[in-house]
Structure 1
Amino acid sequence: MKYRTQYFTVPSSVSFSTVKYRTLAECGDFPLESSYEKVERCVYTSTLLYEYSGFGFKISTNDYNTGSRTVRVNDRHVCWKLAYLERFTADFYITDAKSGMRALVKAGYDSKVIPLVGENLIVNTRKKNRMVSSTLKKWLEERSLPVEARLLHLKEGFIKEGTSLTVVGMLSKKNEIYMIVPPPDAISTSCLLQKLLLPVDFDGLILRFPSKT
């Protein structure tokens, strides 16, 4: 199944149509607040906590000078493991700029959502200063996570009301209300030969919003 980009101006007889929209988000009845930065009126939030897990090595199998296939070990780099993750989505609205038609995006409770949202680094404790701030300590305590000083990365992402995002899902009409819901079958991105990309199947409502960095 392939998706297409279109406006909301679909015939009234259409009951289901797989579509892709790029538009502004508008909160529904239950807006979200980001976990750490406390950003209000969001339609999607995610917070990821990483802990230091040691050093690793970059492995290369090519020697670009000689063309040989021998394995080489490059510079060491820090390895991080995901220690905690939380993601939330809520129902929200999008509006067609041309027709003014409004649709409810069913991304909330019990909906399968695939978020393509970049997270930004919010907290970065360093080797010379591993102290946990009072704000981070409170956040950790509220989630029953260890609060001792250590190397941490905390990343957070969100889609705030009024920002532009891309929604891919199934457009339906029920009782004169347009809704975008997760598709019953997988959606294929099709093959993009110019970018050398093979088809990828998605089996949920797609929300795409790039990172701020």
Structure 2
Amino acid sequence: MKMRATSFAHNQAVTNLNVEDGFSIKGSIPKTIIYMVLMLFVIGFVAGGFILAAIHNPILLIVVVVIFGFVAALVTWNIYYGTKGVIGFVSRYPDADLRTAKDGEYVKVTGVVTCGNVPLESSFQRISRCVYTSTCLYEYRGWDSKAANTQHRRFTWGLRSMERHAVDFYISDFQSGLRALVRAGSGACVTPYVDESIVIDVNPDNKDMSPEFLRWLRAKNLSSDDRIMRLKEG
């Protein structure tokens, strides 16, 4: 049975992935801890500066600066290169043989993927028999244009709408030829690393040239107005 996007949210066999970035330190650490760490650094800088001015001893200030630089570098790497680092680690990790794999063991399996009992269909292009679908609508915000979301900064692309779903699927191991069921549906914890392709770029000058895109917006109750939009699917 092929599942259309309108019924995904109400089907228990489908995992709805509503997070823009599955690997980010910003979303994995509570804000309370972040604020506490920032306060500790502020206190450290103030205390180090006071000691330096009072007794001309820069040791505490140097220690705080070094620790702050290390933490800042780690956070910066995570934000900008974290996903690439994970993909690189997975690509270098050796493939497992399903014949010798044990229960509870983390394994990497490379093989041919086939649909399970509930195949998916992409939202815009209507590509059928998928095990994972992602359709994301982005908007560019200029100086006086509307924000796509509450965190959308000017002169950047912001996420306005996202539909990401995953279901159970089968994978045939290249090494052993065995077929395994991967439990990606029914609310499973899934972190996708699937490249998305630009399907369409829309601006006020060419939005009428894509009636399919306008129909898709109306079906999703999204207005077009005079926005610069980009649709990606993967």
Q: Does the aligned pair in 2 maintain the 1:122–1:155 contact within 8 Å?
A: yes
Give the Å deviation of 1:103.
Answer: 0.6
Q: Does the aligned pair in 2 maintain the 1:132–1:147 contact within 8 Å?
A: no
Q: Does the aligned pair in 2 maintain the 1:132–1:149 contact within 8 Å?
A: no
Q: Does the aligned pair in 1 maintain the 2:203–2:226 contact within 8 Å?
A: no
Q: Runs of 4 or more off by more than 4 Å in structure 1?
A: none
Q: Does the aligned pair in 2 maintain the 1:125–1:131 contact within 8 Å?
A: no
Equivalent residue number for residue 96 of structure 1: 173
Give the Å deviation of 1:129.
Answer: 2.6
Structure 1 position 38 matched with structure 2 position 126: yes
Percent of aligned pairs with the same amino acid = 40
Which secondary structure state, in structure 1, belongs to the residue aligned with residue 131 of structure 2?
A: strand
Give the Å deviation of 1:105.
Answer: 0.3
Give the Å deviation of 1:8.
Answer: 0.8
Q: Which residue identity lines up with residue 28 of structure 1 in the other structure?
A: G
Q: Counting strand residues as a fraction of each chain, which structure ranks higher?
A: 1
Alignment of 1:158-173 (within 5 A): none
Instruction: Give the whole-Å Cα distance in 1 for the aligned partners of 2:110 and 2:175.
Output: 13
Give the Å deviation of 1:127.
Answer: 5.6
Equivalent residue number for residue 206 of structure 2: 129
Q: Counting helix residues as a fraction of each chain, which structure ranks higher?
A: 2
Alignment of 1:66-105 (within 5 A): 78-105=155-182
TM-score, normalised by the number of residues in structure 2: 0.52
- Name the CA shift for 1:24/1:32 in 2 (closer, same or farther; >3 Å): same
Instruction: Give the whole-Å Cα distance in 2 for the aligned partners of 1:146 and 1:154.
Output: 14
Structure 1 position 140 matched with structure 2 position 228: no
User: What is the CA RMSD across the aligned residues, in angstroms?
Assistant: 2.3
Instruction: Give the whole-Å Cα distance in 1 for the aligned partners of 2:208 and 2:227.
Output: 7
Alignment gaps of 5+ in structure 2: 1-89, 144-153
| Per-residue Cα deviation, 1:88-143 (whole angstroms, up to 9, x for no partner) | 00100011234321110000121010000111001101464343622111111111
Equivalent residue number for residue 112 of structure 2: 24
Count of residues in Structure 1 that have an aligned counterpart in Structure 2: 133
Which secondary structure state, in structure 2, belongs to the residue aligned with residue 16 of structure 1?
A: coil
Structure 1 position 53 matched with structure 2 position 130: no
